[in-house]
Amino acid sequence: MTERDAVDRRRAPAARMARVFVYGTLKRGQPNHKVLLDGANGRAAFQGRGRTVEPYPLVIAGEHNIPWLLNLPGQGRRVAGEIYVVDEQMLSFLDEFEGCPDMYQRTPVRVTVLEWEGRQGTPEEMPATDGTLQCFVYSTASYAPEWVRLPHHDSYDSRGEHGLPYNPRENR
Which residues are catalytic, by number?
A: 98
- When pLDDT is cut at 50, 70 and 90, the band that residue 110 belongs to is very high
So what's the pLDDT on residue 3? 46
So what's the pLDDT on residue 123? 53
Report the distance separating Cα 37 and Cα 82, nearest Å: 14
In this prediction the pTM is 0.87
So what's the pLDDT on residue 129? 75
pLDDT tens profile 16-60: 899 999 999 999 999 999 999 999 999 999 999 999 999 999 999
Report the distance separating Cα 155 and Cα 18, nearest Å: 23
Largest Cα separation within the chain, whole Å, is 63
For the segment 125-134, the average pLDDT, to the nearest whole number, is: 81
* Fold that domain 18-148 belongs to in CATH: Hypothetical upf0131 protein ytfp (3.10.490)
Per-residue pLDDT at 5 exceeds 90: no
Looking at per-residue pLDDT, the higher value among 128 and 149 belongs to 149
Residue 86 β-bridge partners: 18, 44
pLDDT tens profile 24-33: 999 999 999 9
